[in-house]
Structure 1
């Protein structure tokens, strides 16, 4: 087995854990199965992660990063703020459609953490990360376009995290791809409507 820097090995094992958890469920994702998925020995796994708690936290961070990466790429400046915001939502939506099992896993991770003693803080950290991510994306847009908001960034960030979370679960349960162009247009119009009238969208 080729030697690999520990940070890279952790990333490899985290991605393997995502694959195993999405396939078998969080509770049934054993360290042995994850090590086998990554093609490493159990000793390598335990060298990289001290506990399942640490692994779950790494999985939550990695899944969040997957979505954030595609959205950030899509948020390049466009002619209008509405077009920019809509492109970001579309990129996220496309990721949900392409990787439904990964997004379904996020909800299972939340329930797992809330129900398992000693893991509750991971669910809180998961949702704090969602809010912080939206706040970062909003600040980047504000800097690039120079607009002001009618609500505090932290409020809008938490609102968008809740809306996105709910819409994702709605799609995972109901599907109905045809309805989503209208849904994303509605969310985009609402977000752009929170920009001050004196600022150019």
Structure 2
């Protein structure tokens, strides 16, 4: 049997932790539940991590990295408006396809705000930084003022997270798919008010 690397074992535990946190919350994310989800044993957790806190630290890092990856993969490197629109669609689609990721992310941020205020803020800061960087690159040839860019990042995050909460609450996929289009139309209306060009050459 091939030997599983430490990095692969950690990835398995991180993925398992996300599933358990989404289902049972932070307080219910016991080492036993995480190892059962990962089809591992408690000794493996202790081999990979000095503590459950260290595992959760890697889960936070994974959430931030995943968010950054979604932003990069969604950005079509087109106009600022189109890049922002596709980032919003990418975030909502990821939440739709990965509800446990969305649920675990919200659980982690709220827990971190209660227990480790700076950690909760850091997750949001990294998400904001990823989005802002992508939008700055998209606006390189036709810059917008920094305040508009900051507002755009805020609106993107607010719309995506609001969509995720609604999806997690009702769990109606057909309804959520329609709400993706509705949310994008709301964003388009906001963009028009900012006088940000909607399409190349417009």
Q: What stretches of structure 1 of length at least 5 have no aligned partner?
A: none
C-alpha change, 1:36 and 1:182, in structure 2 (3 Å) is closer
Query: 1:9-34 deviations in whole A, cap 9, x for unaligned?
Result: 22221111112222222211111221
The reply on whether 1:133 has 2:130 as its aligned counterpart is yes
Q: Which has the higher contact order (CA 8 A, sep 6+)?
A: 2
What is the deviation of 1:42? 2.1
List aligned pairs for 1:14-163, cutoff 5 A. 14-78=14-78, 80-116=79-115, 119-143=116-140, 146-152=141-147, 153-154=149-150, 156-163=152-159
Aligned CA-pair RMSD: 3.0
Deviations 1:62-120 (A, max 9, x none): 23433443342232235x5444432222222211211222212222222222333xx33
Cα shift at 1:149: 1.4
What is the TM-score when the length of structure 1 is the normalising length?
0.77
Instruction: Tell me the TM-score normalized by structure 2.
Output: 0.77
1: CA distance between counterparts of 2:112 and 2:55?
A: 12
Unaligned runs of 5+ in 2: none
| Mapped partners of 2:188, 2:67: distance in 1 | 18
Q: Given the superposition, is the C-alpha separation of residues 149 and 167 from structure 1 closer, same or farther in structure 2, using an over 3 Å criterion?
A: farther
